[in-house]
Amino acid sequence: MPKQSWSSATEPTGGQVISEDLGIKLENVGLNMLGRAKKVSISKENTAIVDGAGKKSEIQGRVAQIKQQIEETTSDYDKEKLQERLAKLAGGVAVIRVGGATEVEVKEKKDRVDDALNATRAAVEEGIVAGGGVALLRASANIKAAGANADQAAGINIVRRALQAPARQIASNAGVEASIVAGKILENKGATFGYNVSGVLRPRFEIGICGVGPRQQLVDLTI
């Protein structure tokens, strides 16, 4: 762990940095110098501290200090690293408890929670798009290339129709005319405007329908 990150790990637990650089040798360490926490989870790349015994006033003081450093630094690299430290120090940890009447029910619920967490992490990292096939449908409308010959034109049209397929299929499954629904979606200029299978055309995010996926995969799909 980099030296500048030591305090970010010790302050939440109420401990102190133990280092010969600070004049503290390992043989002189006492229990009063150690931090405490209800739970610490350590993986190859991350460390999560839950319910640390650190004093809130000291943590808030460190947060204020890092914010000041962010304002004063002129280095983009240093600013990025300071922002990472700030996020780790000021961020919270959510503990989700999953229960059920049977072991099977608990496992099923846990799997759903895991899926939701993975989707949330992907959304935070890569962003979200309108679901229900809307994002792909709008991408198809942005394919302007005509093709240099008949074969290229046919290939471009195949890609365009493939991008339209999810939205059309959803509409068809709902028992409505797919071409009409697709046309109405494209007529509306709202980027998130789409069709709800209950028969309502409205923004996707308002009703909780969105798509989450690695941005690069979406880019590759539309190239």
Residue found by looking up tokens 């000291």 in the block: 58
DSSP 192: T
Burial of residue 82, with CB atoms counted within 10 A of its CB: 0-12 exposed, 13-18 middle, 19 or more buried: buried
Specify the DSSP element, H or E, that contains 114. Answer: helix 103-126
Note whether residue 103 is domain-resident: no
Task: Count CB-CB contacts under 10 A for residue 59.
Answer: 18
215 and 204 in contact (C-beta within 8 Å)? no
Confidence at residue 205, expressed as pLDDT on a 0 to 100 scale: 47
Q: Domain boundary at 60, 90, 120, which?
A: 90
Task: For residues 142 and 68, state if they share a domain.
Answer: no
Answer with the one of 90, 113, 141 that is the final residue of a domain. Answer: 90
In this structure, is residue 99 part of a structural domain? Answer: no
The answer to whether residues 51 and 135 belong to one domain is no
Domain identity same for 151 and 208: yes
Listed residue (10, 68, 67) closest to 1, CA to CA: 10
Domain count, the chain: 2
User: Are residues 83 and 156 both part of a single domain?
Assistant: no
Has this prediction a pTM greater than 0.85?
A: no
In a domain, 160, yes or no: yes
Determine, yes or no, domain membership for 95.
no
Reference 15, options 67, 52, 47, 44; nearest CA is: 52
If asked whether residues 134 and 189 sit together in one domain, one would say: yes
pLDDT of 217 reads 47
pLDDT tens across the length of the chain (223 residues): 555 556 667 778 888 888 888 788 888 888 888 888 888 888 887 777 888 888 888 888 888 888 898 899 888 888 888 887 787 777 666 778 888 899 999 999 999 998 888 888 777 777 777 777 888 888 888 888 777 888 888 898 899 899 889 888 888 888 888 888 888 888 877 777 776 665 555 554 454 455 554 444 444 444 4
Domain span at residue 47? 3-90
Q: In b/e form, how buried is each residue of 90-121, taking b as 16+ CB within 10 angstroms?
A: eeeeeeeeeeeeeeeeeeeeeeeeeeeeeeee
